[in-house]
Amino acid sequence: MTEIPPLAGYAIGLTAARRADELGALFVRKGATVRYGPSIRIVPLSDDTELRAATMRLLDSPVDAAVLTTGIGFRGWLEAAEGWGLGDELINQLAKASVLARGPKAKGAVRAAGLTEAYSPSSESNAEVLDYLLNSGVDGQRIAVQLHGEPLPFFVESLRQAGAEVIEIPVYRWVGPADPGPLDRLIDGVLDGVIDALPFTSAPAAASTLTMAKRSGRYGALVEAMQHRVLVAAVGPITAGPLAALGVPVVQPERARIGALARVVSLALEQRTPKLNAVGHRIELRGQAVIVDGHLRDMAPAPMSVLRALSRRPGVVVARKELTSALPSGGEEHAVETAVGRLRTALGHSALVQTVVKRGYRLAVDETDIDRSDLRPSEKYSGNTKTGR
């Protein structure tokens, strides 16, 4: 029997602007289907007067410290300065300052430029960099802070309130996608139940996704899906911020790495996979597919929605009306009967889904797989079933 990859049957939506292909490849390698819907794009500011003005302000007089938050941002800043004929002057100025690198990529860019960092937290956290500065004392100091796509108001204001002069360096900006179509379709996929996980690699990407949903009247539905059904992951605490604020459960890796993010998503999906024994068959639900006795069977959205609803209470009778509301587009009770028929066909064993006359349907799991301790009296079914109907 061919071994089934650990993520086969799952669909993962990616909104990343950078390294989306790299992250997607990690999931595809494990058997997942990946759908891309970029929610942001990076606009470099190499020709922007704001960046040049900030650079000139930094060069006016010595700075005591420079906070570098991203490798790509710092390299872009140096390239822009080279283009203006200010590259050597900028490097010389930074060499006299205490350079703080937020993470290993920023640290690598610092060293590639011939500089040495004075501090870099193992947590890769802006909060820890801020604590280091405040504990060191910043009153009367000039501090340059390289932004990473969006303002850092708390970071900057905390330094100013402590008496520092802060020079914000806007190296690039996050803006909305040039073509919003893929993101729009990705959100539809989440709401239709055909996306199982949403890993985010930046806070702007998460915020932009929510903004798109809000503009199109789908905000509440998207938040509800992320709160209760879709697995949501973030590469780190900053990225998780706008999601956690909405009550969305967010899984995170211990270290903010693309590979670690892929691993934590894979593990979380595997842990939430229902596995049941039903009338002599082993069933494993995989997002958009089912494994029956070691064979992967793809499912259309409607029958998959019915199977998910039945598997949430295995062995319990689920009314047709309840199953109707579980269908992606709703419908009449006849739509449930059609979906159940397609489900039985896809499973390959009609006895797995039993018809309970005048009441609904049940997943015919083995008695040992049913926990009846918290069932209501009406749910403790006995007798009068039919199969294949």
Give the model confidence (pLDDT) of 323-354 as tens digits.
988 887 766 778 899 999 999 999 998 899 99
Residue 355 confidence (pLDDT): 92
pTM of the model: 0.73
CB 69 within 8 A of CB 126: yes
Q: Output the average pLDDT for the chain.
A: 87
Residue 149 confidence (pLDDT): 61
Residue 241's Cβ-count burial label (10 Å; 0-12, 13-18, 19+) is: middle
How much of the chain is in helix, strand and coil states, percent to nearest 5?
45, 20, 35
* Nearest Cα to Cα of residue 287 among 191, 197, 373, 184: 197
Residues 43-64: pLDDT tens digits? 766 457 888 999 999 999 999 9
Q: How many CA atoms lie within 13 A of 369 on its CB side?
A: 21
- The fraction of the chain above a pLDDT of 70, given in percent, is 91
Q: How many CB atoms lie within 10 A of CB 354?
A: 23
What are 65's two structure tokens? Answer: 């410290």
Residue 238 confidence (pLDDT): 75
pLDDT beyond 90 at 5? yes
**Beta strands 142-146 and 165-169, pairing class:** parallel
What are 337's two structure tokens? Answer: 């009967």
Q: Which residues contact 21 (CB under 8 A, 6 or more apart)?
A: none
CB 199 within 8 A of CB 253: no
What are 105's two structure tokens? Answer: 């990529």
Residues 308-326: pLDDT tens digits? 899 888 889 999 888 988 8
Q: Which residues contact 356 (CB under 8 A, 6 or more apart)?
A: 317, 362, 381, 384, 385, 386
CB 68 within 8 A of CB 116: no
Residue 255 confidence (pLDDT): 81
Long-range contacts of 151-160 (CB under 8 A, 24+ apart): 152/69, 152/126, 155/126, 155/129, 155/130, 158/130, 158/134, 159/130, 159/133, 159/134
Domains assigned to the chain: 11-40+177-271 (3.40.50.10090), 43-174 (3.40.50.10090), 275-387 (1.10.10.10)
Asked whether the CA dihedral 156, 159, 161, 164 is positive or negative, the reply is negative
Report residue 115's pLDDT band, with 50, 70 and 90 as the boundaries: very high
Long-range contacts of 149-156 (CB under 8 A, 24+ apart): 149/42, 149/73, 149/173, 149/174, 149/202, 149/204, 150/174, 150/203, 150/204, 152/69, 152/126, 155/126, 155/129, 155/130
pLDDT beyond 80 at 174? no
Residues 231-253: pLDDT tens digits? 999 988 878 888 998 999 999 99
Residue 368 confidence (pLDDT): 55
What are 267's two structure tokens? Answer: 């593990």
What amino acid occupies position 205? A
Kind plus residue range of the DSSP H or E element containing 200: strand 197-200
